[in-house]
Every structure is written in structure tokens, then in C-alpha cells.
A and B are shown apart, each in its own frame.
Chain A
Amino acid sequence: EVQLVESGGGLVQPGGSLRLSCAASGFTFSSYWMSWVRQAPGKGLEWVANIKQDGSEKYYVDSVKGRFTISRDNAKNSLYLQMNSLRAEDTAVYYCAGGRWFDPWGQGTLVTVSS
């Protein structure tokens, strides 16, 4: 069964850091572009970042450049998002997704930035 499982979300104060993880199974992780997508409460979807199969290319939405870092470990079938200098507007459910078109998706992990 194809599966993506995110973890690492939680409550963090403004200016704090958090590292999200996404564990993949049931498909050849190393063959897929991987992405992070977020959804603020009651809002639409926003692409955050993605990374090429070998990690040689990484792209970010402008609002997180310099604060977030996407990475992957193909040996562990895992994707990561290091989030620094967090702001209230980063509050959202964060999904990992595979492929150049986003399929499959994980179930999401909630990040809340609040004092």
C-alpha cells in the first residue's frame, strides 16, 4: 500500500523552529519528486517547497525562502522540512506529497505558531 505519514507538528512560539518528517512506503521513494503543501485553517492549498529525486534541486515559495529547508534521505525513504523563524501566518496543516503532480499525499500534520 502506498503511504505517506507526516509527523513533527505541534505548537511553537513565534520565532521558534520545528522539523517535520514524512515517512514513505509502498513505492520507490527515490524515483519521486517530493513536495510540502500547506493549508491554513479554513483556507486553500499552498505549495511550500519541493525537491528533486536526488536532492540536487530544491524550490520554495517566496514566503518561506531563507526560513524553511527541504531535504530528503532516500536510504530512509524520508522527507523533511526544517522550519525556522516561524510566524503566525505559518500556522497550517502541512502535507507531504509525491510526484511532479502531487500524488500520493499524506494525512497532514498541524503546525500552530502562537504565543
Chain B
Amino acid sequence: EIVLTQSPATLSLSPGERATLSCRASQSVSSYLAWYQQKPGQAPRLLIYDASNRATGIPARFSGSGSGTDFTLTISSLEPEDFAVYYCQQRSNWPPKWTFGQGTKVEIK
């Protein structure tokens, strides 16, 4: 079973700063990786799919990179609405399973 490990657990930054979130897979997931944002009391929202493609309506300040086992979500300049929890997710072809990382909380410093 593929395990996703996100780091750091918490990231304390100020608005306007750059955020760099990491997701490491226990074995290669090729580019089958997505990123989600979740705010308190809300459902998650898809940000990035296939490692680097922005979902519909997602601002350009969000970008994803990586392949294989190491992935990064970058928020180029934090807006007040970006403070939230971010999850990475992979899907494996066989056995077909979808797993999430444990999340990274981006909080206001």
C-alpha cells in the first residue's frame, strides 16, 4: 500500500509570502497525484491534478510539480483566503486505491 507523507505538518507564514508544501510517496505514483484545499467547516476543493495541472477556476498562484515519489505544491504569494489545510492524494492503478496524505496546515504567522 502506498503511503503519502506530507511535510511540514504546519507552516506559519504571513500574507504575501511563498508557501512550499511537500508530499512524498512510499513508492512511485508516476504523475497520479492531486492536491486539495480544505477550509474549516467546508468540503475539500481540488486544486491540482496529475501533479501539475490546475483545476478549473484555480488561481495561477497555485502550482504543482514533481513526479515519481516527490511532489511540491507552491503558493507563490499567500492571500488571506489561502490559509487552510492542504492534502495530497494519489491513485494507484492496481490494486485500485486512492489515499490521502495526513495534511499540511498553512496558518497565519
Contacts and interface: CB of A to CB of B under 8 A. Distances in A.
Interface of A: 35, 37, 44-47, 50, 57, 59, 61, 95, 100-103, 105-108
B45 to A, nearest CB: 7
13 contacts: A44-B101, A44-B102, A44-B103, A47-B97, A59-B97, A61-B97, A95-B44, A101-B34, A101-B46, A102-B34, A103-B55, A105-B44, A105-B45
B88 to A, nearest CB: 10
Contacts of A45: 36, 38, 44, 87, 89, 100, 103
Chain B interface, DSSP helix/strand/loop, else mixed: strand
Contacts of B102: 44
A57 B94 CA distance: 13
A47 B43 contact: no
Contacts, number: 51
A106 to B, nearest CB: 7
Interface of B: 34, 36, 38, 43-46, 49-50, 55, 87, 89, 91, 95-103
Contacts of A100: 91
Contacts of B101: 44
Contact of A102 (B44, B96, B97, B103): B44
Contact of B100 (A46, A101, A107): A46
A18 to B, nearest CB: 20
A83 B43 CA distance: 21
A45 B101 CA distance: 8
Most chain B CB neighbours (cut-off 10 Å) among A59, A61, A105, A108: A105
